[in-house]
Structure 1
Amino acid sequence: MNVKVSIIMGIYNCEKTLNESIDSILNQTYDNWELIMCDDGSTDNTYQIALEYSRKDKRIQVIKNGKNMGLAKTLNNCLEISTGEYIMRHDGDDIMVRDRIEKQIKFMNTHDCDACGAGAYVFDEKGVWGIRQPPMLPDKRCMIVSAPFIHPTVIMKKESLLRVGGYSDTKLTRQRLEDYDLWIKFFEHNFILKNIQEPLIYYREDRNAYSRRKKKFRLAETSARLDACKRLNIPYSQRIFALKPLVAMVIPNSIMRYYHTKRAKI
């Protein structure tokens, strides 16, 4: 079934990586897609690069926010003009495996689910340094300690995403937690979520990034996890695990860096 998929991207100051990211879409084995990029007030050449691609391929649309509005609003702007049956996420610094779209479309068409994610090769300027693989059948309990998906690997039924109101834009979700809040809403609606058990993107992340996370983001992450516990009726006996980000604040960076790389090691 050759259904159309809308790939939505919020782009911001990613001129150094955007070409490679878009090229990985153009080189896909599946071609019934549209790419909608919304520039969120970039101060480099990101918007111009995206615009040049749109002039060469009619499947590519580029829109622009009048000012920096954050990822949630930016993705909702893309969603508003999308025409595909499925919505797929991608970021301006990540790279798709060549048959990613084909495999996820086939999975969505043959499995009962509202959203499907996948694993990811984790890489930086030195090359691939790990693999992340979320569970095949995530449930709400995973929200206590992590997340059911790697956000840029996800494909969703458009009708399901619209049913929960798209991405929520709040003070908390603006702390890089717009995806986490979306997963909470999916579980609140008893959606079926699954993950293909293989990497389908190259996910760009500095192997030292976790140890450099600022205190305010760890506090926001803790608040989000406690919010998930409340909204999803997680038993009180399990809620202590939601405090993991607070524990990370007092662990030496060298130990956090080791744990972070060990967890994703090939």
Structure 2
Amino acid sequence: MPIVSIITPSFNCIEFIDETFNSILEQTLNDWEWIVTDDCSTDGTYEYLLQKAALDSRIIVYRNGSNSGAAVSRNNSIKHATGRYIAFLDSDDLWENDKLKVQISFMSHNNIAFSYTDYSFLKESGEIIDKARVLPVTLTYRQLLNENLIGCLTVMYDSRKLGKMYMPLIRRRQDYGLWLDILKTVPIAHKCPGILAKYRQRTSSVSSNKLKLLRYNFELFYKHQNMPIHMASYYLFLNVFNKLFKKNKVKIQMDS
């Protein structure tokens, strides 16, 4: 069995999926499996994945019976995962080539069940943006309620310690819901040192639509976290305030 299972949902991402795949191939740790569940792509993404899987047994591809959203896709991949560690990489994001090796070593040596990393940013075109999200060295459930600081592309959890944990079946913000659920099981999430991933900022992403983001966050607190309306509204306000005013995106000097 591989030491780590990489979980990727895909939907009409043929423009980016090859670069994402190459960032997995270039990992300094090669004891992985890449489990992709395609959500009924129509642009050739599914066929591309099947071609790659035919050439490399570490690549396992599934397809939803109907378009069902990222939570269903990720959960299907988690269900079939055989690795001890579960890592997440969306179909348009990238990893630094030592991401898996560094993060697994960090978790193993420090007996950590749930970790994340800092990450940098790319434009949709792939051009590097000279900033990174630099996060606290630990995060708790209460801290995360104030704002979803953890990037999905940076997360890794130990299924031997936690069991397999799945994303809530909500259309958006399901990754945020999973981090909150994990932090009800373990008290602290730990940051693995280093900027180990690259998040692609796309103009069509959910995070670019602020009004939809407000609705999704409220539904997460109210329905998934079972908060009364006044508490859900309070944490929604904190999320908005922190997004607007808290300086957790820090300018850095990128290598030239």
| TM-based fold match above 0.5 | yes
> Which stretch shows the higher mean deviation, 26-35 or 143-152?
143-152
Q: For 2:139, give the aligned amino acid.
A: P
CA gap of 1:60–1:37, structure 2 versus 1, over 3 A, is same
Partners of 1:118 and 1:196 within 8 A in 2: yes
- The alpha-carbon distance between structure 1 residues 149 and 245, as it changes in their structure 2 partners (threshold 3 A), is closer
1:194-216 deviations in Å (ceiling 9; x for gaps): 11232111110148978841423
Which of 170, 178, 193 is matched with 1:197 structurally?
Answer: 193
Please, which of 209, 214, 223 is the counterpart of residue 218 of structure 1?
Answer: 214
Bigger mean CA deviation after superposition, 89-98 or 107-116:
107-116
Alignment correspondent of 1:22:
21
1:73-101 Cα offsets, whole Å, 9 max, x none, are 11111111111111111111011101001
- Return the letter of the residue paired with 2:25: L
Q: Spell out, residue by residue over 1:207-252, the C-alpha distance to the aligned partner (whole angstroms, 9 max, x if none).
A: 8978841423212213434678866x9xx7xx8453145669xxxx
Call closer, same or farther: CA 1:136–1:16 in 2, change over 3 Å.
same
**Alignment partner of 1:263 out of 242, 249, 253:** 249
Question: Unaligned stretches of 5+ in structure 2?
Answer: none
SS in 2 for 1:167: coil
Return the offset for 1:16: 0.5
Does residue 73 (structure 1) correspond to residue 68 (structure 2)? The answer is no
1:1-266 correspondence runs (5 A): 4-124=3-123, 125=125, 126-160=127-161, 162=163, 164=165, 166-169=166-169, 173-174=170-171, 176-206=172-202, 212-225=208-221, 240=234, 242-244=236-238, 263-266=249-252
Deviations 1:101-126 (A, max 9, x none): 10011011111221111011111124
The farther-off stretch of 19-28 and 128-137 is 128-137
Q: Cα distance 1:210–1:129, how it changes in 2: closer, same or farther (>3 A)?
A: farther
Q: Is the 8 A contact 1:143 1:228 kept in 2?
A: no
Tell me: CA distance 1:240–1:214, structure 2 relative to 1, closer, same or farther (3 Å).
closer
Moved more, 45-54 or 200-209: 200-209
Unaligned segments of structure 1, at least 5 residues: 249-255
**TM-score (ref. length: structure 2):** 0.84
Distance 1:160 1:70, change over 3 A: farther
Cα RMSD for the two superposed structures: 3.1
Question: What amino acid maps onto 1:71 in structure 2?
Answer: A
Point out the more displaced range, 222-231 or 134-143: 222-231
Alignment correspondent of 1:253: none
User: Could you tell me how far apart the structure 2 residues matched to 1:95 and 1:82 are?
Assistant: 20
- After superposition, the C-alpha distances for 1:5-60 in whole angstroms (9 at most, x for unaligned) are 11111111110110010011111110111111110111111111111111111111
Task: Report the alpha carbon displacement of residue 3 of structure 1 after superposing the two structures with TM.
Answer: 6.3
- Structure 2 partner of 1:252: none
AA of the residue aligned to 1:56: L
- Deviation of 1:4 (Å): 1.0
Task: Assess, with a 3 A threshold, how the Cα gap between structure 1 residues 227 and 43 changes in structure 2: closer, same or farther.
Answer: same
The normalised TM-score by structure 1 is 0.81
**Percent identity of the aligned residues?**
27
